[in-house]
Amino acid sequence: QVQLVESGGGLVQAGGSLRLSCAASGSIASINVMGWYRQAPGKQRELVATVTSGGSTNYADFVKGRFTISRDVAKNTVYLQMNSLKPEDTAVYYCNSPGLVIRGYWGQGTQVTVSS
């Protein structure tokens, strides 16, 4: 079974930046869609951004223009560059694939905390 390990989270002030990484034990090249999700305290997990094997990207409206998702197939790694961070971005961030979400898979995630 594929394993996904998130890292790069931390505590930053509003307006700051973080780069999250997701290291996969399997080949990302064989998965059509990879994405970043987040879960804030007391809320459900929500989709933040996706990237396809062809390089197409999509973003939730609340992060457009601030976040960039990318992938490095050679390193089996997916990234999320987060700029202009807001307190509302505070959450645990997870990487995943829609097919794995349906099957109940989640990694440990990485905590992002943005202070005002």
Q: pLDDT tens across 26-73, in order?
A: 888 888 899 999 999 999 999 999 999 999 999 999 999 999 999 998
Q: Please state, for a pLDDT cut of 70, what percent of the chain lies above it.
A: 99
Strand order in the sheet with 46-52: 10-13, 110-115, 91-96, 33-39, 46-52, 57-59
* pLDDT at residue number 27: 80
* pLDDT at residue number 29: 80
* pLDDT at residue number 99: 87
**If you compute the radius of gyration of the chain from its CA atoms, what whole number of angstroms results?**
13
Exposed/middle/buried for 80, CB within 10 Å: 0-12, 13-18, 19+?
A: buried
Cα–Cα distance measured from residue 19 to residue 83, given in angstroms and rounded to the nearest whole number: 9
* pLDDT at residue number 6: 98
- Copy the structure tokens of residue 68: 């960039």
Cα–Cα distance measured from residue 67 to residue 8, given in angstroms and rounded to the nearest whole number: 14
Does residue 95 surpass a pLDDT of 90?
yes
Does residue 110 surpass a pLDDT of 90?
yes
Average pLDDT rounded to a whole number, residues 5-16: 98
Cα–Cα distance measured from residue 11 to residue 90, given in angstroms and rounded to the nearest whole number: 9
* pLDDT at residue number 70: 97
Q: Do 107 and 93 touch, CB atoms closer than 8 A?
A: no
